[in-house]
Amino acid sequence: MAKSVLHTIEDNLSTFSKGQKRIGRYILDHYDQAAFMTASKLGKLTEVSESTVVRFAAELGFDGYPAMQKALQEMARNRLTSTQRIQAAENIYDRDVLSSVLQADIENLRQISMDEDRDTFQTAVEKIVHARHIYILGARSSTHLAGYLYFYMQMIFENVTLVQASAAGEIFEQLFRSGEGDVMIAFSFPRYSKDTINAARFARSRGAEIIAITDQKQSPVAQMSSAALLAPSEMLSFIDSMTAPMSLINALLVGIATKMGTDVTKTFTTLERLWDQYDVFGGADDE
């Protein structure tokens, strides 16, 4: 679908109005930047109104501008190096960088709230709760996501392993006992780490089920999964935006706790006693 956006523009360029031609030519020349622009921003750069940009998306057969934007993003996100993303961001973000970044994160959260499949989410919860052993893996910028999930999961379950992704050979050593009844929760966001892909493929070959936390159904790990939880991570800079994935993790943890009910309550009651006994947490009056 993503490639067809440019093909459709090229095929129909001669039939567009003068303003639509300016939009079309800009997208053809700068699709990697246009993919992350608001309709208003694209309109300003091409000297047309925001409504003209919206009508242009409809002319291409999309339900609206966000649908066209998403198709362009799917094509652009895996092709941009960190340097290219920084250069593109310089031309897109307004002077108010704080507002621009926060608005991008808010849009990612809105998208996950609207698009996340509730049945798939519940399937993931069920598989995790009933797993024989749970492996959690995230490489590169996803490492902290895996660590955050593991921090809480190891309090709830006895059978959790955080797979260290510092060396490819060590990953397989940590997974060689995986098998049927096990679940691997694999984090994978563009640009997709080969270590994560290979580890998920290895675990699945041994009979483990994959729960993917990724950005789209077409991602390599999602294609191998029994349930793929999708969270957008678009941020046109050298960083990846992990706001939506972090929120999805929080929802997953709450879903697991809700499913387990009194078992989780008992666990944290015991932990609270230990924390109090060993004075783990400080208060406002502590010096």
Tens digit of each residue's pLDDT (9 = 90 or more) over 130-154: 999 999 999 988 999 999 999 999 9
Residue 107 has pLDDT above 90, yes or no: no
Number of domains comprising the chain? 2
Confidence of residue 205 (pLDDT cuts 50, 70, 90): very high
- Indicate whether 42 and 138 sit together in one domain: no
Q: Is residue 280 part of a domain?
A: no
Higher pLDDT: 120 or 90? It is 120
Give yes or no for a contact between 30 and 3, defined as CB atoms under 8 angstroms apart.
no
pLDDT value of residue 91: 53
- Indicate whether 128 and 266 sit together in one domain: yes
For residue 171, how far is the Cα from the chain centroid?
A: 22
CA dihedral 180, 171, 223, 254 (to 10 degrees): 70
Residue 64 has pLDDT above 80, yes or no: yes
- Indicate whether 86 and 182 sit together in one domain: no
Q: Is residue 61 part of a domain?
A: yes
- Indicate whether 54 and 149 sit together in one domain: no
pLDDT tens sequence across 4-41: 688 888 888 889 999 999 999 999 888 878 888 889 98
- Indicate whether 123 and 110 sit together in one domain: no
Give the global pTM: 0.68
Strand ranges (DSSP E) for 28-171? 134-138, 160-162
- Residue ending a domain, choose from 79, 114, 149: 114
Residue 82 has pLDDT above 70, yes or no: no
pLDDT value of residue 2: 41
| CATH at 100 | 1.10.10.10
- Report how far residue 124's alpha carbon sits from residue 231's, in angstroms, rounded to the nearest whole number: 14
Q: Is residue 287 part of a domain?
A: no
pLDDT value of residue 1: 37
CA dihedral 31, 32, 38, 42 (to 10 degrees): -40
Q: Which pair of structure tokens corresponds to residue 22?
A: 């300016």
Q: Is residue 283 part of a domain?
A: no
- Strand, coil or helix: what is 229? strand
Higher pLDDT: 254 or 71? It is 254
| Domain region containing 109 | 2-114
pLDDT value of residue 81: 56
